[in-house]
Structure 1
């Protein structure tokens, strides 16, 4: 957490979080809730796995690409193939550097051939927008690119009882995973326009609700009340991290970065390899053909201890064969888990060890996810 919180941006619900006893922490330059009084990370994590949780992730970026040729322009920039989806669908994709590493991973909402809405990570929004603007200038394209970071909030309703919450508030429930709807709903005596997408970062059935910044408090209050009535609770970003790690989901700054390619990170499925163009295609295609020097794996602790990020992964002879990118205690398993970038020769089922401040923690190489849940609801 930053020592000087005055320099951090605040979301639209800052006072609500503080009033509920939230422990606030820095996330991508924003002061956001890490956990709340009354249970902490484990209780909030468990609520999502067994009932429902509500996350404020309004620190996430928002941007738009609009105008004639917007779809084709975005498809020449971002890694995944937007031609695979239809309007009303969202797609996980990557903004790559020319060397094939990852500037950011983001969700692209395709509204039409002339309008896309993007949700990048908080700290990378400006970089993604700048890269799009540079590409527009280089092409001489007439598309409009707008940074909307503080125009919209983002709330995530996640867990097996997510549908009950959405029904109680009167929000739509898109039928298909990664589909979204734009809707107007009556809340607090007002007609509120918002977007609901069947996405999330926990592995559970869930939705991400995107209202305007101005309407965010009204929407959040309705969702929070419904979540509590359904037996769930508000959850901070600490639980969001343990939940995503259990699923083996990549997080920028850990499994993805400007030093790591999607091939190394195991997210090559988010690359439209047959497309004529995307940022970093030449370098990434060459790495894929030659074989990446590292690969991402899951590590399940076999001893007592909690794995951490950026510690050495050792083989039976004590040689370093990689480094962890994320590590945590899994509340669902009651065990330590980690993600790591390791030598390609490392095999599933192999016994390794982590060097945690000079102490060896035994781990076994596994294929994520670490827990089995109904990812698509």
Structure 2
């Protein structure tokens, strides 16, 4: 049971849509409703995938993850918590303390449960040690997200519902600390992607329901990254300016501050959001150019071709946007100097189902924006 101040978001729950009929075969209605009673079987639940819509704060038990590694002598990334905070901040999400969580609307909580190889111990006195066996060794982590919700059956009654989760495991125990640190950050990135997608999808759901658009529509429809503060108006280059196509680091030598850049998805392996090591030098040069042009901001857009579902392409382009953001920040670009947008397959450059068309459409566009 949770306080009535929790956010009264209604989630899709299997089995809640009961179809009990009265003796006269007419749908029963709930006895207490604000205005119009809701017929059983006609509830207007929103999809659970939208539960992250408009999230601005979350508690993550990152301290527990760090402390759980110490008895195992597992060395995690030294600034792991700071890296988590930075990732959330760039997405407009604040990391709550455990105390602040108790007072936060909906009590949004992400819980991470790591599991370590048994040979790491710790072992009790007299307990036999387990020898390391590279052929039979596993490590893993499961993450779940919960927050408060109300149901139409009793709007005053609040529940704690799980609406997002993700799991990872490995059989390579050569460096559990490095693996776990990377997976924790990847999980946070995936959570941010899911949140950004929920912001976009929520507007489509509202429209489908015939409801007025939420106030957040303008910041979520095309720009998944929310901003904490208003930014100065910006202007893009002239529409006639042709972007420079970058396929190799050498192509970046003549970049100017006001040069629009067109990168192709070869910097990512097919269907992947992991930056290719062979092509990472291109983004390194782009980062250097941004740092040399502090008077400019840059819009970074990710696109995909149309060979998968709309949803899968949205997720892929969002993951790639997050990967690019992390790369730029890690290479010294101020997070305030660029913003991200992901479009999936919604803005193709070329029509057609050919390799050439697909290659042209799966691209990254970087557009300089100069404050007026």
Larger RCO, structures 1/2 (Cα 8 Å, 6+ apart) = 1
Identify the TM-score tier after normalising by the shorter chain: under 0.3
Q: TM-score, normalised by structure 1?
A: 0.26
Q: TM-score, normalised by structure 2?
A: 0.26
Q: Which has the higher strand share?
A: 1
Q: Which has the higher helix share?
A: 2
* Greater Cα radius of gyration, structure 1 or 2: 2
